[in-house]
Amino acid sequence: MKRYIFPFLLGIVGCAILISLGVWQLQRLQWKEAMLAEISAKIGGAPQELPPEGTDTKPLKYQPVTVSGRTTGQEILVLSGQKGIGAGYRVIDAFETDAGRRILLDRGFLREADKGVSRLAVDLTITGNLHWPEETDSYTPKPDEKTGLWFARDVPAMAVRLGTEPVLVVAARVEGDTQGIAPQPITITGIPNDHKQYAITWFLLAIVWAGMTIFLLWRIRRQSA
């Protein structure tokens, strides 16, 4: 009987750990779904005016805003792409509001073929969302000085380059001449939510562990017979 104790306890403890990890991932799934629902509701809320100059907009991420003004032609092209279209760029413009402020405006996606097309200053009314993308890390290449291309949106760095406030508005709807730039509204589709898959993996491992334990106990029984 003693020969059964260790493998039996090992099987019980192993299954308990794997099942607890699966349950934890289910709890994380509920938390993530609630967070995504909150973000989605915030993105689709009623647009407001820009917060006062000097306001830290990082905590205001996703807040809907509306702003009118004029593009400047001073822009940053961030390497990007769209499914079904291919490579292109996000156009980040230094936007002068009717109130005389200079902010960053993410106008949307520009096809690679339209990169060299001249874009003169135009009057626009924008409905969109404040954003503070977290796209840079230690592996992100620095902007290419030869081509002028950027590889990620970095609000403080872009503000310094274009001489604007560190305020980024991502256009969702544009009134005026878009100049071939298609708005790319903020959505929750890019926010990962893999907790369900993780939970399934842990539960399947628990089943495998239980099966291995039963097989081991069966082998011990046969050897003892």
From the first residue on, what is the mean pLDDT of each consecutive set of 10 residues in the chain (225 residues)? 81 95 96 93 93 93 96 94 86 96 96 87 96 89 89 95 96 95 90 92 96 89 72
Provide the pLDDT for residue 151: 95
Provide the pLDDT for residue 191: 83
- 41, 57 Cβ separation under 8 angstroms: no
Provide the pLDDT for residue 115: 85
State if pTM tops 0.75.
yes
Q: ∠102-73-103 over CA atoms, to 5°?
A: 15
Radius of gyration, alpha carbons of the chain = 26
Provide the pLDDT for residue 41: 92
Query: Residue 138 CB: number of other CB atoms within 10 A?
Result: 4
The SS3 of residue 193 is coil
Residue 61 buriedness (CB in 10 A; 0-12 / 13-18 / 19+): middle
